[in-house]
A and B are shown apart, each in its own frame.
Chain A
């Protein structure tokens, strides 16, 4: 009898315990959630002059991952909360964000603030987000100032001119002070060859060939590699396919080339210039200058290869191969680092990495209809967009993350060191970089009323970051940063549609499916074309083009053209 009671007692206890935890879980969150009772009365009765700083927590969902989010407990976050009273309970997408966004949009219960990027159409269709036009007009003077003259670009579409999104990804007045793309060559290569002109693919090829003849192996007896490409999954875009249009005078409009005068849209692989670009890559392969493993290696194998210092040339972005270069720099091998060169197919083309877009609007933050206090929400976002807020988000706290010396903001060296070498921890502690995507902000190169830059990316800072070898190479090419080697923005016509990859695609559109099909074909055929024997290149290319036509590429082009033209019309009002 006693034993039985003990057993059933255990069962009951466990079930009760589980139930207790269930209740506990619920309570914890109820306490943390927005309690409308505590905050002031909603918009109807709040007077503009009264600053309501009562603590209010809002939920925030973002499609971008951010593993360094600290619940606003970092230094900048605490200041933000003290100035506005708002703290954010944030949730970031893990893995495929579109799935999570679809679930949230379908569920009928929305977080207070949403950063839905390209999934915004789902939320608009569900009626989940508010039209911010009046809110911005009445309560957001700073946002209005940042977007002065560009407010028309915030409209959602021609049929629906409401403002659903405050763009936070695109910056206003952005100037690029450094170049991280183009083609890369190791410093030791250009040094030994006497700093030759690196303007065309032929120059690039010659430099690699000449250097390989002089140094076919490294000091350990391992062969040096001329050019290695990064083709692991989406890295294919960065290293293999995008350079095809950048090197032939085509701006980055995603998978399409759009003529700036006629707005005619072509799937960029159909351009004859790009056929010649891929023919050159095929030639590089035939000459033995291209890494045989380019299309089979994984991303970390690619980086490891770079870290051995044996790869002479790359076609990539600095953030993509950065880990490998960092390993080389850690060993003090600064001559094995890479410089950036504006290589094009022939001298007739201009390298198009910096083709100006004007303010691109696009992805940003929306306020959902479930938000308990949209006025305070917009005021919070407005504070982030204010001069004070932007400096706080970018520079940090005065005295801690930067000092003001003779009216100029200066970052102490230890702080800068930590920013570069201990980036993750630094972001978690200080909060710098955690809030940039929440509201409108200026880009690099824009100065605030004190004459200092809003961001920490400006010429003097960048130059200070170069090591001696980099400075030597730059000086030999009469440049201060790599940007100087590339064509200036003034040499191009501003694209009236901004950038095509930024345009929200309506949910019912066939574009998504069509473009995926085209991508599958391209990712199969391009490596095949590059690795084939030179005699077979034309045949493979023709087959590829036929396959594209069979997959309805012209329909995809037409659909995309409609979107682009609609945006041009909307933005030119």
Chain B
């Protein structure tokens, strides 16, 4: 019952609550932002000086040499091209296929609705494992192709269910009235449901885009030897993991002195990390407004 009104008009308990929330959020912000600023600072710092440690959010010995070095790697340019290509293509195609399936599953008059939903849900819990999947890709002749980035991961059950839940909130009356006006299923999907599902689509688009941008393991497994199909993340991985893996036999590698002397210095690794993360970082703010819109849109519906 502490509704002691202050001069401002807000009760004391509210103000304390606000302060606590702000403090917590600021704390989280620092914790998440600091490592990134640290990486940024290290990337602008001279490599020998970086070894001395102690760099926090400002570079101590500013240099652009690390970035100069990176931009001279021709493989990064190819990687950039392919990464952008697969992100854009993968996202668009993935969105369309997921939303189409979601629409089908949201229609109450679809006979196989329950069966397909259960079947799809199963794939979220069970998978064949790495080796059978590898064989499958090989047998489908998708090794060393661009298609292996898009086609195997085309439909994700998780995405489909999210979009479907959103579509379920759209009143069925809209679809019925459209049918009365002579629209077929595809028209309803394309001209009515899809535009109304923008918030859900934006969310899934972001998941897909980030997923496509960040994946390197599929490049490693299937396109490892194709110079022309390398992705930015794979290049980053190669540079970051250039030290020996720590196998007991590895430490006896007589070439070790030479191997270790050509390991990229910390600051070069940091610079590549920044270069690889920056594009997706720049795209994110533009998609963010759809989230905000999406939060409020679903609440008010006639």
Interface residues of B in 168-221 (CB under 8 A from A): 187, 190-191, 220-221
Q: Does B130 contact A (CB under 8 A)?
A: yes
Contact between A25 and B135 (Cβ–Cβ < 8 Å)? no
Distance, CA A320 to CA B138, complexed state (A): 40
Known interface pairs A11-B96, A255-B248. Does A89 touch B257 (Cβ–Cβ under 8 Å)?
no
Contact between B190 and A106 (Cβ–Cβ < 8 Å)? no
CB-contact partner of A322 in B85, B96, B254, B261, under 8 A: B261
Q: Does B239 contact A (CB under 8 A)?
A: yes
CB-contact partner of A65 in B187, B238, B266, under 8 A: B238
Interface residues of B in 250-287 (CB under 8 A from A): 250-262, 264-266, 268
Contact between B130 and A103 (Cβ–Cβ < 8 Å)? yes
Contact between A233 and B134 (Cβ–Cβ < 8 Å)? no
Known interface pairs A15-B93, A95-B241. Does A324 touch B145 (Cβ–Cβ under 8 Å)?
no
Known interface pairs A24-B146, A100-B220. Does A327 touch B248 (Cβ–Cβ under 8 Å)?
no
Q: Considering only CB atoms, which chain B residue lies closest to A180 in the complex?
A: B257
Residues from chain B with Cβ under 8 Å of A100 in the complex: 220-221, 224
Known interface pairs A15-B93, A67-B242, A300-B266. Does A22 touch B145 (Cβ–Cβ under 8 Å)?
yes
| Nearest Cβ on chain B to A265's Cβ, whole angstroms | 15
Q: Does B52 contact A (CB under 8 A)?
A: yes
Residues from chain B with Cβ under 8 Å of A499 in the complex: 252
Contact between A4 and B146 (Cβ–Cβ < 8 Å)? no
Q: Does B246 contact A (CB under 8 A)?
A: yes
Distance, CA A353 to CA B253, complexed state (A): 14
Interface residues of B in 28-87 (CB under 8 A from A): 48-49, 51-54, 69, 85
Residues from chain A with Cβ under 8 Å of B101 in the complex: none
Contact between B245 and A26 (Cβ–Cβ < 8 Å)? no
Contact between B238 and A103 (Cβ–Cβ < 8 Å)? no
| Nearest Cβ on chain A to B59's Cβ, whole angstroms | 16
Contact between A424 and B262 (Cβ–Cβ < 8 Å)? yes
CB-contact partner of B225 in A26, A89, A304, under 8 A: A89
Residues from chain A with Cβ under 8 Å of B151 in the complex: 22
| Nearest Cβ on chain A to B138's Cβ, whole angstroms | 6
| Nearest Cβ on chain A to B89's Cβ, whole angstroms | 5
The contact string, 1 if C-beta is below 8 Å from chain B, for chain A 319-347, is 11011101100100000000000000000
Q: Does A211 contact B (CB under 8 A)?
A: no
Contact between B262 and A300 (Cβ–Cβ < 8 Å)? no
Q: Does A28 contact B (CB under 8 A)?
A: yes
Number of interface residues of A (CB under 8 A): 84
Contact between A301 and B53 (Cβ–Cβ < 8 Å)? yes
Residues from chain A with Cβ under 8 Å of B52 in the complex: 304, 307-308, 327
Q: Considering only CB atoms, which chain A residue lies closest to B253 in the complex?
A: A169
Contact between B249 and A106 (Cβ–Cβ < 8 Å)? no
Contact between B93 and A95 (Cβ–Cβ < 8 Å)? no
Residues from chain A with Cβ under 8 Å of B220 in the complex: 94, 100
Known interface pairs A18-B89, A29-B226, A327-B51. Does A103 touch B221 (Cβ–Cβ under 8 Å)?
yes
Q: Does B229 contact A (CB under 8 A)?
A: yes
| Nearest Cβ on chain B to A230's Cβ, whole angstroms | 12
Contact between A97 and B229 (Cβ–Cβ < 8 Å)? no
CB-contact partner of A300 in B53, B228, B246, under 8 A: B53
| Nearest Cβ on chain A to B271's Cβ, whole angstroms | 13
| Nearest Cβ on chain B to A420's Cβ, whole angstroms | 8
Interface residues of A in 191-211 (CB under 8 A from B): none
Contact between A437 and B255 (Cβ–Cβ < 8 Å)? yes
Residues from chain A with Cβ under 8 Å of B258 in the complex: 433, 436
| Nearest Cβ on chain A to B216's Cβ, whole angstroms | 8
Q: Considering only CB atoms, which chain B residue lies closest to A66 in the complex?
A: B242
Q: Does A266 contact B (CB under 8 A)?
A: no
Contact between B229 and A25 (Cβ–Cβ < 8 Å)? yes
A-B residue pair count with CB separations less than 8 angstroms = 179
Q: Does A348 contact B (CB under 8 A)?
A: no
CB-contact partner of B254 in A8, A169, A255, under 8 A: A169
Q: Does A92 contact B (CB under 8 A)?
A: yes
Residues from chain B with Cβ under 8 Å of A515 in the complex: 248
Contact between B257 and A319 (Cβ–Cβ < 8 Å)? yes
Contact between A92 and B238 (Cβ–Cβ < 8 Å)? yes
| Nearest Cβ on chain A to B186's Cβ, whole angstroms | 8
Q: Does A53 contact B (CB under 8 A)?
A: no
Contact between B134 and A107 (Cβ–Cβ < 8 Å)? yes
CB-contact partner of B190 in A7, A26, A67, A519, under 8 A: A7
Q: Does B227 contact A (CB under 8 A)?
A: yes
Q: Considering only CB atoms, which chain B residue lies closest to A15 in the complex?
A: B93
| Nearest Cβ on chain A to B185's Cβ, whole angstroms | 13
| Nearest Cβ on chain A to B272's Cβ, whole angstroms | 10
Contact between B226 and A109 (Cβ–Cβ < 8 Å)? no
Contact between B252 and A502 (Cβ–Cβ < 8 Å)? yes
Residues from chain A with Cβ under 8 Å of B146 in the complex: 21-22, 24-25
Residues from chain A with Cβ under 8 Å of B246 in the complex: 233-234
Distance, CA A319 to CA B69, complexed state (A): 23
Q: Does B237 contact A (CB under 8 A)?
A: yes
Q: Does B122 contact A (CB under 8 A)?
A: no
Residues from chain A with Cβ under 8 Å of B117 in the complex: none
Interface centre among B96, B134, B258 (most CB of A within 10 A): B258
Contact between B147 and A22 (Cβ–Cβ < 8 Å)? yes
Interface centre among B146, B187, B234 (most CB of A within 10 A): B146
Contact between B48 and A327 (Cβ–Cβ < 8 Å)? yes
Interface residues of A in 499-542 (CB under 8 A from B): 499, 501-502, 515, 519
Contact between A424 and B264 (Cβ–Cβ < 8 Å)? yes
Known interface pairs A11-B96, A111-B225, A433-B262. Does A330 touch B255 (Cβ–Cβ under 8 Å)?
no
CB-contact partner of A330 in B48, B239, B248, under 8 A: B48
Contact between B241 and A103 (Cβ–Cβ < 8 Å)? no
| B residues whose Cβ falls under 8 Å from a Cβ of A | 48-49, 51-54, 69, 85, 89, 92-93, 96, 130-131, 134-135, 138, 143-147, 150-151, 187, 190-191, 220-221, 224-229, 234, 237-239, 241-262, 264-266, 268
Beyond contacts A94-B238, A363-B249: 13 other A-B pairs, Cβ-Cβ < 8 A, are A4-B191, A18-B89, A22-B145, A24-B146, A64-B253, A65-B243, A67-B262, A97-B247, A237-B251, A304-B52, A424-B262, A499-B252, A502-B249
- 9 A-B residue pairs with Cβ-Cβ distance under 8 Å, sorted by A, are A14-B93, A21-B147, A26-B144, A64-B244, A169-B254, A233-B246, A304-B53, A318-B257, A499-B252
Closest 10 CB pairs of A and B: A304-B53, A234-B246, A22-B147, A25-B146, A91-B225, A319-B260, A25-B145, A91-B224, A307-B52, A21-B146
